[in-house]
Chain A
């Protein structure tokens, strides 16, 4: 009960800050929109390649872009922690009887809300340019859910790294270094069975790929609910581990000051 109330308070604080600067949601969505529209146009003929089983490329690409935006949007979440630490706000929270897990989970809640809004914008845009999703609203909802889950994992990792390093430059470096390779080493942009063998092998261990597979299966193609369930399960386990990591990072921080 206390845990929930404290998480709620932390989330409220970050969400309030977000709502006071809603332009940020718009700015951070520019990149995924460019990917969706330009990539979609550039590789339109991909759908003609023998072995491509999706419908049109834009239908195939949309879940990939949603997953990608979740990773890149969540990656920056740790910046707020770095600001809070430098400012002294975090120290005040840490000397209060707050449940430690609430610090990460509250921030994750804000990140998930942002990702859900951004996903809906991207999906609406792709519908506008002609994409159609077989499983309708339910399928799209599962896509947004898996993207949010993936975002929660990366937001937690970002928070943990932020608390451990406490340097904006380091976090920027790590996010830029990690995000794109993870997207490319997955089926976010290209059909699984058209990927080179080694990438297909690596992708099996890539959480971005889990989310892309689950989200796409649920929305774009005819859903394989077994696959959706296992991938969602993997993501849930990873979320648990990354949330523990982010919360434990505060112990390391407190030992170092």
Chain B
């Protein structure tokens, strides 16, 4: 349903957003682009939705080339952008009505479709209110409703739950799952929440610096990693000491120190913790806590991108600032 091959884009300010990105999405599935801020996820969505253009490579959506067949692509897709796309000075109903007209839905069909969406997204009572006065969750729901007016075959959701409270997020997750299941919609979503990709997507790609670094189902990606992650939080750090103190221990891999948190991959977490703590304390590094975790997508990211998710996010924030 979506085929992307070797997409490249460099912005005029020299930032290389996409560096040969490729992936494919099957009909009726939820597919996630997972990556930190600045990985190129939004750029990919902009290109696939005909908003922006790639410098190189090819992309097809619903069997149509996004450049040559832009207008037909636009008719087949729904887009919920990162920024709210609604008109804050119009009512919920007016927003939906205008969107319907732009897709050639008029008259009785328009009324029916608008009422149906207002109902489904719990906005019927607020339909006559100016969207500016809606709560954050209501605005997001209206935004998603706007993306569905034309009954798209492919729905793009760019960071759909960013900024939502946990309740609104769970509600939206539920709706997204329902769309893929009941309406056989193909959904591509971008997220930098690992648990969002884990919960929703049947397949995902991890994107880092404009490239795909890993691809597969969340479970398959996690099971590629043998063993456990142990995580030791230190009371204080002395530069480099913590890694040096434990490096000689057998069976330890992917050792990283992130602030006061030391992480490592081991075959058997429960067996490794005592020797880890002993080694640290022998060097005068006091341990505040220790945890063992089954592999998460965070670990998958760390393994493939070579840095932790938090580091990558913080790193791009620094670049942006």
Judged by a CB distance under 8 angstroms, whether B254 is at the interface is no
Number of CB contacts from chain A to chain B under 8 A: 73
Give the residues in chain A near B260, CB-CB below 8 Å. none
The docked-state distance in angstroms from the alpha carbon of A254 to that of B84 is 18
Contact with A along B64-89 (1 / 0, CB 8 A): 00000001001101010111111111
Task: Indicate if the CB atoms of B46 and A257 lie closer than 8 Å.
Answer: yes
A220-257, CB < 8 A from B: 254-257
Residues of A within 8 A of B (CB): 2, 5-6, 9, 12-13, 16-17, 20, 86-89, 91-98, 254-257
Judged by a CB distance under 8 angstroms, whether B264 is at the interface is no
Contact with A along B83-101 (1 / 0, CB 8 A): 1111111100010001101
Give the residues in chain B near A257, CB-CB below 8 Å. 46, 51-52
Give the residues in chain A near B89, CB-CB below 8 Å. 13, 16-17, 20
B36-62, CB < 8 A from A: 46, 49-53
Task: Indicate if the CB atoms of B83 and A97 lie closer than 8 Å.
Answer: no
The docked-state distance in angstroms from the alpha carbon of A88 to that of B77 is 17
A100 CB to nearest chain B CB (Å): 11
Task: Indicate if the CB atoms of A256 and B90 lie closer than 8 Å.
Answer: no
Task: Indicate if the CB atoms of B77 and A13 lie closer than 8 Å.
Answer: no
Judged by a CB distance under 8 angstroms, whether B18 is at the interface is no
Give the residue of B83, B101, B103 whose beta carbon is less than 8 angstroms from that of A88: B83
Task: Indicate if the CB atoms of B98 and A12 lie closer than 8 Å.
Answer: yes
- A95-B79 CB under 8 A given contacts A17-B90, A89-B86, A89-B87: yes
Provide a sorted-by-A list of 17 A–B residue pairs whose CB atoms are within 8 angstroms. Answer: A2-B104, A6-B101, A6-B102, A9-B98, A12-B98, A13-B89, A13-B98, A17-B89, A86-B83, A88-B83, A89-B86, A89-B87, A91-B81, A91-B83, A97-B74, A255-B52, A257-B46
B268-321, CB < 8 A from A: none
Task: Indicate if the CB atoms of A91 and B51 lie closer than 8 Å.
Answer: yes
Give the residues in chain A near B199, CB-CB below 8 Å. none
Give the residues in chain B near A256, CB-CB below 8 Å. 11-12
The docked-state distance in angstroms from the alpha carbon of A172 to that of B117 is 40
Judged by a CB distance under 8 angstroms, whether B146 is at the interface is yes
Task: Indicate if the CB atoms of A254 and B102 lie closer than 8 Å.
Answer: no
Task: Indicate if the CB atoms of A97 and B79 lie closer than 8 Å.
Answer: no
- A97-B75 CB under 8 A given contacts A16-B89, A88-B85, A255-B53: yes
A7 CB to nearest chain B CB (Å): 11
Residues of B within 8 A of A (CB): 11-12, 46, 49-53, 71, 74-75, 77, 79, 81-90, 94, 98-99, 101-104, 130, 146
Give the residues in chain A near B99, CB-CB below 8 Å. 96
Closest to B75 in A: A97
Give the residue of B51, B82, B90, B102 whose beta carbon is less than 8 angstroms from that of A16: B90
- A16-B94 CB under 8 A given contacts A88-B81, A96-B102: yes
Most buried by B among A12, A94, A256: A94
Give the residues in chain B near A5, CB-CB below 8 Å. 101
Give the residue of A13, A97, A255 whose beta carbon is less than 8 angstroms from that of B103: A97
- A88-B82 CB under 8 A given contacts A13-B98, A16-B90, A97-B74: yes
A95 CB to nearest chain B CB (Å): 5
Give the residue of A9, A16, A89, A97 whose beta carbon is less than 8 angstroms from that of B85: A89
Most buried by B among A88, A96, A254, A255: A96
Task: Indicate if the CB atoms of B81 and A97 lie closer than 8 Å.
Answer: no
The docked-state distance in angstroms from the alpha carbon of A6 to that of B106 is 12
The docked-state distance in angstroms from the alpha carbon of A81 to that of B103 is 21
Task: Indicate if the CB atoms of B101 and A9 lie closer than 8 Å.
Answer: yes
11 further A-B contacts with Cβ under 8 Å, apart from A96-B74, A97-B103, are A6-B102, A9-B98, A17-B89, A87-B85, A87-B88, A88-B83, A88-B84, A92-B86, A93-B102, A256-B11, A257-B52
B317 CB to nearest chain A CB (Å): 20
The docked-state distance in angstroms from the alpha carbon of A254 to that of B53 is 7
B219 CB to nearest chain A CB (Å): 33
The docked-state distance in angstroms from the alpha carbon of A13 to that of B99 is 11
Give the residues in chain A near B88, CB-CB below 8 Å. 87
The docked-state distance in angstroms from the alpha carbon of A17 to that of B74 is 27
Closest to B82 in A: A88
Task: Indicate if the CB atoms of A87 and B83 lie closer than 8 Å.
Answer: yes
Give the residues in chain B near A96, CB-CB below 8 Å. 74, 99, 102-103
The docked-state distance in angstroms from the alpha carbon of A6 to that of B77 is 19
Task: Indicate if the CB atoms of A95 and B51 lie closer than 8 Å.
Answer: yes
Task: Indicate if the CB atoms of B102 and A98 lie closer than 8 Å.
Answer: yes
Closest to A14 in B: B89
Give the residues in chain A near B75, CB-CB below 8 Å. 97
Give the residues in chain A near B130, CB-CB below 8 Å. 20
Give the residues in chain A near B87, CB-CB below 8 Å. 13, 17, 89
Give the residues in chain A near B84, CB-CB below 8 Å. 87-88
B231 CB to nearest chain A CB (Å): 38
Give the residues in chain A near B94, CB-CB below 8 Å. 13, 16
B281 CB to nearest chain A CB (Å): 53
Closest to B53 in A: A255
The docked-state distance in angstroms from the alpha carbon of A67 to that of B193 is 55
Closest to A5 in B: B101
Closest to B91 in A: A16
The docked-state distance in angstroms from the alpha carbon of A154 to that of B85 is 27
A99 CB to nearest chain B CB (Å): 9
